[in-house]
Amino acid sequence: MDRNNIKHWLKNPAKMAHKYSLTVTYFCTGCGIIEIPPTITARWDAERFGVTPGASPRHANLFLITGYVSLKTLKAIIRSYEQMPDPKFVVAFGSCPINGGMYWDSYNTIKSLDKYIPVDGWIAGCMPRPETIFIGVTHLWTLIDKEMADGYKKYKKNYKFYRKNQEMLYGKLDWEPFYPIGGDNE
């Protein structure tokens, strides 16, 4: 871990601050919520990794989506994601946001979350144990270091693609586009 290497910190203090102070907005549906509370207890202690829960998406930089994503909840996920300030990172937790999980054949379940918002990391399993969140967080640190956790940049660059997919589900959305559609986004 680079916490002991002060030279690394001094090269890019902003990146290090984002890396080691992740404020999380949890979007928990179904069984996904059951593995989240233990992560903030003394046994796993998320704060030792710099991970703290946030009260609002507007105060968070890590979006942890657990459990299945239905058509109805996807709209709230998109709106929450767009409210988060940059840089922001998304981690999908469990099989459901990856491929629908045990609801894969449901007409009302999103099979691949990354068609609608960018996902920086995936934690597979049904349900993954709490310690896998920390494996995911330490992997996210590596991605942040290598500047590969750039989903928020991809969202802006490819906004037309994401908005088109969102509108294929919902028709015309009842909120203005987050970024201008056209020009650089084409």
Arch. (CATH architecture) of 2-149 = 3-Layer(aba) Sandwich (3.40)
Q: What is the mean pLDDT of residues 148-156?
A: 94
Strand duo 62-66 + 22-28: pairing: parallel
Instruction: Inform me whether the pLDDT recorded for 85 exceeds 90.
Output: yes
pLDDT value at 13 more than 60: yes
Q: How much is the average pLDDT of 87-93? A: 92
**How far apart, in Å, do the first and last CA atoms of the chain sit?**
40
pLDDT for the residue numbered 186: 44
For the chain, domain boundaries: 2-149
| Four-residue CA torsion sign, 171, 83, 125, 28 | negative
Q: What is the pLDDT of residue 19?
A: 80
User: Which tens digits make up the pLDDT trace of 112-134?
Assistant: 899 999 999 988 888 888 888 88
Q: What is the DSSP letter of 39?
A: G
pLDDT value of position 63: 93
Q: What is the pTM of this model?
A: 0.86
